[in-house]
Amino acid sequence: MATLEDIDCNCNNCINMIRDGLKRKQSLELHEKWQLDYYNLIKGKASEIDAAKMRFEFNSGEATIHYGNCVKFNKEVSFVPGVCQLDTQDCFNNRR
């Protein structure tokens, strides 16, 4: 019986994918900078009373792209976990 991972063939669940933690960390840092810049813009436009109540909280859920290396094809890959990847239908091998 096929599982959802077998159907969507996402690199996240493939045995040939090695995660690139450094690239993911850099992506998260960039998203945090963008969010902080936007927060500071909004806070700067708010009244003093409202601005004093505001606080920054990073939403890592906005950085949905993950990174890794495919050992089967010796190439860098990027993917969004849980999203069907049509281009990996022939090369996907479930890690479970």
> pLDDT tens digits, residue range 39-56?
999 999 999 998 999 999
What percent of the chain has a predicted confidence (pLDDT) above 90?
A: 79
Strand pairing category for 66-70 and 17-19:
antiparallel
Residue 26 identity: Q
The 10s digit of each residue's pLDDT in 18-27 is 999 999 999 9
Scan for tokens 């010796």, then name that residue. Answer: 74
As given in the structure block, the two tokens for residue 56 are 């920054």
Strand pairing category for 66-70 and 75-79:
antiparallel
CA angle at 20 for the pair 17 and 92, rounded to the nearest 5°: 15
Find the farthest-apart pair of alpha carbons in the chain and give their distance in angstroms, rounded.
60
